[in-house]
Amino acid sequence: MSKKLEYFFDYVSPFSYLADSQVPGLVQRTGAELIYRPFFLGGVMQASGNSPPATVPAKGAYMGVDIARWLDRYGLEFKFNPNFPVMTVKPMRAALVALEQGVFPQFHQAMFKAMWREEKNIGDAEVLAEVLSSAGLDAPAILGRIGDDDVKEHLKANTAEAVERGAFGAPTFYVEGEMFFGNDRLDFLEAKLAS
């Protein structure tokens, strides 16, 4: 039986970038039905009362070491984006539009690559347009929709729903009502999907 896997993410989150590299394999091995749920991490942090790890200096320093270990394990490229924390309301709205327009896979790859391998400020509308065009996407078609009320409301609704369901960070996954938080719980997530 194929299980539904809801995947809440934000391009601003380095742990979403890490986890995202493993999601295809996990889906292939478990036959899960993957549902991408873009949300706005800033809104989740605010609503849950959580703070980014780096607000505690020792946590921030260790986070760099920890990310490096995961990159090594996964064999991934990464550059810490000097624009961090990028304001990702526009990219996350654009992700919803890309899903609607059937171009999500290319969009999704381009965003994580721009954010975590190419040091781009994807929160800037001009940079965002360039990133999409370079990836062969129709930037005006996507970005022309992100100011529309229904798209704005959709991102707000996804964010509020995740908070309602207990999220306090990214990435956050749900399977059959169970929540799995973080790149470092993919093993538990996979066990659940395989059960």
Residues that bind a second copy (CB under 8 A): 48-50, 56-59, 61-62, 65-66, 69, 163, 166-168, 178-179, 181, 184-185, 188
Phi, psi of 167 (to 5 degrees): -70, 150
Q: How many angstroms separate the Cα of 57 from the Cα of each of 61, 69, 153, 171, 183?
A: 6, 19, 35, 22, 21
User: In the bound complex, what is the minimum distance in angstroms from residue 169's beta carbon to a second copy?
Assistant: 8
Q: Please state, in angstroms and rounded to a whole number, the distance separating the CA atoms of residues 139 and 143.
A: 6
Measured from the CB atom, the residue of 1 and 58 that comes closer to a second copy is 58
Measured from the CB atom, the residue of 78 and 168 that comes closer to a second copy is 168
User: In the bound complex, what is the minimum distance in angstroms from residue 101's beta carbon to a second copy?
Assistant: 33
Element (H, E) at 157: helix 149-164
The catalytic residue positions are: 13
Measured from the CB atom, the residue of 114 and 170 that comes closer to a second copy is 170
Cα angle value 53/107/127 (rounded, 5°): 70
135 near 107, Cβ under 8 Å? yes
User: In the bound complex, what is the minimum distance in angstroms from residue 57's beta carbon to a second copy?
Assistant: 7
User: In the bound complex, what is the minimum distance in angstroms from residue 51's beta carbon to a second copy?
Assistant: 8
Determine how β-strand 178-181 pairs with β-strand 172-175.
antiparallel
Measured from the CB atom, the residue of 29 and 59 that comes closer to a second copy is 59
Closest CA to 36 of 3, 5, 13: 5
